[in-house]
């Protein structure tokens, strides 16, 4: 668990560091796409969180641990993918 968190933090740090060195401008379409992607990710995050809460209420915490871990990994993957697209758009 700690290894996963550490890897995610390192990946995000590398992404932010690479992004801070770039000075290109994004187009309006790219900014709109980034905003839409962030909104979609926030909606997915909320749905996964609600699903986890319902699972805990019905089945108990111990039976839902695997599902919660899977959702956390999906949330991290979504965030990383969105940030990677933003950096790519800035480079282009």
CA 32 – CA 44 distance, rounded (Å)? 18
Domain definitions of the chain by residue range: 2-91
pLDDT digits 0-9 by tens, 48-72 = 999 999 999 999 989 999 999 999 9
DSSP state of 21: T
pLDDT confidence bin for 19, thresholds 50/70/90: low
Range with the lowest mean pLDDT among 6-10, 29-33, 70-74?
Answer: 6-10
Chain centre to alpha carbon of residue 27 = 22
The whole-model pTM stands at: 0.65
């Amino acid at each position: 668990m700690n290894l996963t968190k550490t890897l995610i933090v390192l990946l995000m740090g590398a992404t932010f560091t690479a992004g801070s060195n770039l000075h290109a401008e994004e187009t309006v379409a790219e900014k709109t796409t980034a905003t839409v992607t962030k909104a979609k990710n926030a909606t997915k995050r909320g749905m996964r969180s609600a699903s986890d809460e319902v699972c805990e209420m019905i089945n108990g915490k111990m039976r839902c641990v695997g599902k919660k871990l899977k959702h956390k990994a999906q949330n991290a993957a979504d965030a990383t993918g969105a940030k990677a697209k933003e950096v790519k758009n800035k480079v282009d």
